[in-house]
């Protein structure tokens, strides 16, 4: 009997312990996150860049993590061009009006608050905790149909990638999870601590913005010392070929990476030169693949050292090898700025700019325009327009304006099929931005507007009558139901820099 009893008892006990542990975990987790996770309902304007004068509305749901100081942390994605933010506690019930108090698209982070003090009752601020490199499993939580959903996620790796909304690289935590629709700021939990928020999902892999990246930014912001993210504004290649290091007269073991291109900026003497070997950054030795040994996360790309607790305007110490000698230099991190590229990566919180001249529609060339070709826009948009991403701005041509389409009218007869032509000059004046184009139209040549396009494999020029322009424009606006012939945003800063991208 004893012999039979004990195994049975043991089985019952095990089952009881297991049930009790599961219940305990569930019960322990639920009350905490119920009061720390809120649902955000964001309504924003959505633009059709093929008809930049039209606006649509899009509503999306995101997660927000309650922090101390009556702040709610979420990603910046889907928060641009917003018209209304609402917040819901407990996954159901009343909606409260929210206000975005801070947003950084390059970091893909935003803070939201609710003005109504009553909202904050019963909410418990969560604390951000750095993910440990040894953690193997995580939980992802989110509100789903009024209930708190918890899913298991497995550790894949720490890596360095560009943000979902930016070219700036920073450390990311990659996990695998059998869950769909992540990327809206869902917190990821390890050992009852929030170690990051979800940024993007591809298949079952999910990119997490780790707390170790978020916390220093939020702390610096509180102190007023956050100046935005910086980045390394140069191109480099791995130094895996010993012959190349020999050519550059580097003795000893192969190490470092080779700088191959440093964009020039007027009035600024570049710190680095092509064919410098970058040996160390802020004391971290760089290996021949461009990685350094991060104390927390192991091998990471050197690009992370531009955002590892450093901001735009901070100094970074480089040890380089130049002309057969070592050299210590100080590199000033430039501020990440969408308008620094010839084709800006993004235009947030701004209506699309356009100018209609007798049915000729002019728009700035930016990625937002190219993205009108849909999710596969990098392949489907016109090659020549997309290829401008490979070209750098110059003082003479800091940005591009294109004639995107022609709204047919007798005024523009003969041009009705033209589209996607990049403007070079109007009435003899070089054009980089829409206001310049408008100014040039005030100076017609012999009664005509002469519009010259960039030399390529397409049309070079067209001419329209200056004296009929206003009348034709009014006619076109009326015919096509357009309320205004232009929209110009505030002129962007003239700072021109380019992103550092490893080849």
Partner 1 sequence: MRARSIATEAKDHDRPAKSLRNLLVLDHSERSPHFAIVLRTILILLLFSGSCSFASGAEPEKSVIQIICASQQPVWDAPWRFDSVRRAGGSGFVIKGKRIMTNAHVVSWDRQILVKRYQDPRPYVAKVRFIGNDCDLALLEVEDETFFDGLEALNFGELPKVRSTVVTYGYPAGGEQISYTRGVVSRIEMQGYAHIGNRSYLGVQTDAAINPGNSGGPVIQDDNVVGVAFQGISGLENTGFFIPPPVINHFFKDIEDGTYDGFPQAGIRLVALQNPAYRRSLKLAGEDLGARVDSILPIPSTQQVLKEEDVIVKIGPYPLGSDGTILYQGNRLNGAMAFQEAQHGGSIPLKLWRKGEEVDVSLPVYVYQEDRSVGNQYGALPRYYVYAGLVFTTLSLDFMKTFGRNWADAANAELVYELYYRRHEFPNETRSEPIIMAAVLADPVNANLTVRSRTLVDRINGIRITNLEDVIKAFDTVKNDQHVIEYLPNHSFECLDRAEADKANLNILKTYGVPKDRRL
Query: Structure tokens of 179?
Result: 């869950």
Q: Quote the least distance from Cβ 447 to partner 1, whole Å.
A: 8
Q: Quote the least distance from Cβ 341 to partner 1, whole Å.
A: 15
Spatial distance between the Cα atoms of 261 and 278, rounded to a whole number of angstroms: 13
Task: Give SS3 for 268.
Answer: strand
Residue placing its CB nearer to partner 1 in the complex, 125 or 238: 238
Q: Quote the least distance from Cβ 454 to partner 1, whole Å.
A: 7
Q: Quote the least distance from Cβ 478 to partner 1, whole Å.
A: 21
Spatial distance between the Cα atoms of 316 and 306, rounded to a whole number of angstroms: 8
The number of residues making up the chain comes to: 503
Under a CB-based contact definition with an 8 Å cutoff, are residues 409 and 465 in contact? no
Residue placing its CB nearer to partner 1 in the complex, 8 or 243: 243
Q: Quote the least distance from Cβ 449 to partner 1, whole Å.
A: 8
Residue placing its CB nearer to partner 1 in the complex, 71 or 424: 424
Residue 9 to residues 17, 18, 23: CA-CA distances in angstroms? 12, 14, 21
Helices assigned H by DSSP within 356-462: 367-370, 377-380, 383-387, 434-440
Residue placing its CB nearer to partner 1 in the complex, 178 or 376: 376
Residue placing its CB nearer to partner 1 in the complex, 269 or 417: 417
- How far from chain centre, in Å, is Cα 38? 23
Cα torsion through 11, 15, 16, 22, rounded to 10: 160
Residue placing its CB nearer to partner 1 in the complex, 59 or 289: 289
Q: Quote the least distance from Cβ 303 to partner 1, whole Å.
A: 15
Q: Quote the least distance from Cβ 396 to partner 1, whole Å.
A: 15
Spatial distance between the Cα atoms of 120 and 117, rounded to a whole number of angstroms: 6
Q: Quote the least distance from Cβ 503 to partner 1, whole Å.
A: 5
Query: Structure tokens of 155?
Result: 């550790």
Helices assigned H by DSSP within 248-391: 367-370, 377-380, 383-387
Query: Structure tokens of 234?
Result: 């140069």
Angle at alpha carbon of residue 100, lines to 186 and 215, rounded to 5°: 55
Residue placing its CB nearer to partner 1 in the complex, 3 or 383: 383
Residue placing its CB nearer to partner 1 in the complex, 69 or 242: 242
For residue 10, give the H/E element and its range: helix 2-34
Closest CA to 407 of 336, 351, 478: 478
Residues making contact with partner 1 (CB under 8 A): 235, 237-238, 240-244, 246-247, 258, 260-261, 274, 373, 379-384, 386-387, 390, 411-415, 417-420, 446-448, 450, 454-465, 468, 503
Q: Which residues touch 33 (CB under 8 Å, ≥6 apart)? A: 126, 141, 148, 150, 187, 189
Q: Quote the least distance from Cβ 241 to partner 1, whole Å.
A: 4
Task: Give SS3 for 123.
Answer: coil
Q: Which residues touch 6 (CB under 8 Å, ≥6 apart)? A: none
Residue placing its CB nearer to partner 1 in the complex, 147 or 380: 380
Residue placing its CB nearer to partner 1 in the complex, 189 or 437: 437
Q: Quote the least distance from Cβ 476 to partner 1, whole Å.
A: 15
């Amino acid at each position: 009997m004893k012999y039979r009893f004990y195994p049975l008892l043991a089985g019952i006990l095990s089952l009881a312990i297991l049930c009790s542990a599961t219940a305990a975990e569930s019960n322990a987790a639920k009350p905490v996150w119920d009061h720390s996770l809120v649902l955000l309902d964001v309504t924003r304007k959505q633009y059709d860049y093929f008809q930049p004068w039209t606006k649509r509305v899009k509503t999306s749901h995101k997660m927000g993590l309650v922090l101390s100081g009556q702040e709610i942390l979420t990603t910046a994605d889907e928060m641009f061009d917003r018209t209304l933010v609402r917040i819901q506690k407990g996954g159901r019930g009343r909606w409260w009006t929210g206000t975005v108090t801070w947003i950084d698209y390059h970091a893909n982070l935003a803070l939201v608050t609710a003005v109504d003090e009553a909202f904050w009752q019963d909410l418990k601020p969560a604390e951000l905790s750095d993910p440990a490199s040894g953690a193997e499993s995580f939980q992802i939580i989110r509100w789903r149909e009024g209930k708190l959903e918890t899913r298991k996620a497995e550790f894949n790796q720490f890596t360095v990638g560009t943000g979902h909304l930016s070219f700036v690289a920073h450390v990311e935590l990659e996990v695998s999870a059998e869950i769909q629709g992540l990327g809206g700021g869902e917190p990821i939990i390890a050992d009852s601590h929030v170690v990051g928020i979800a940024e993007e999902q591809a298949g079952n892999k999910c990119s997490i913005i780790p707390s170790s990246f978020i916390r220093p930014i939020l702390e610096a912001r509180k102190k007023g010392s956050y100046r935005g993210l910086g980045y390394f504004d140069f191109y480099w290649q791995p130094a895996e070929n010993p012959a190349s290091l020999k050519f550059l007269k580097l003795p000893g073991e192969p190490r470092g990476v080779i700088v191959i291109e440093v964009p020039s900026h007027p009035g600024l003497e570049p710190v680095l030169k092509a064919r410098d070997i970058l040996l160390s950054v802020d004391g971290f030795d760089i290996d021949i693949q461009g990685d350094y040994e991060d104390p927390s996360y192991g091998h990471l790309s050197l690009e992370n050292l531009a955002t590892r607790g450093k901001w735009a305007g901070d100094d970074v110490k480089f040890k380089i090898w130049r002309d057969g000698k070592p050299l210590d230099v100080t590199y000033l991190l430039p501020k990440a700025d969408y308008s620094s590229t010839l084709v800006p990566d993004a235009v947030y919180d701004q209506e699309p700019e356009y100018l209609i001249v007798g049915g000729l529609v002019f728009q700035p060339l930016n990625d937002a325009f190219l993205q009108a070709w849909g999710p596969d826009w990098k392949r489907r948009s016109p090659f020549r327009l997309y290829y401008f991403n490979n070209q750098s701005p110059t003082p003479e041509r800091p940005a591009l304006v294109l004639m995107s389409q022609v709204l047919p009218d007798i005024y523009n007869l003969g041009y009705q099929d033209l589209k996607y032509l990049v403007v070079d000059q109007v009435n003899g004046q070089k054009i980089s931005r829409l206001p310049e184009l408008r100014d040039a139209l005030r100076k017609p040549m012999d009664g005509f507007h002469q519009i010259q396009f960039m030399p390529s494999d397409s049309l070079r020029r067209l001419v329209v009558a200056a004296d009929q322009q206003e009348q034709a424009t009014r006619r076109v606006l009326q015919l096509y139901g357009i309320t205004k012939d232009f929209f110009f945003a505030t002129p962007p800063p003239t700072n021109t820099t380019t992103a550092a991208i490893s080849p």
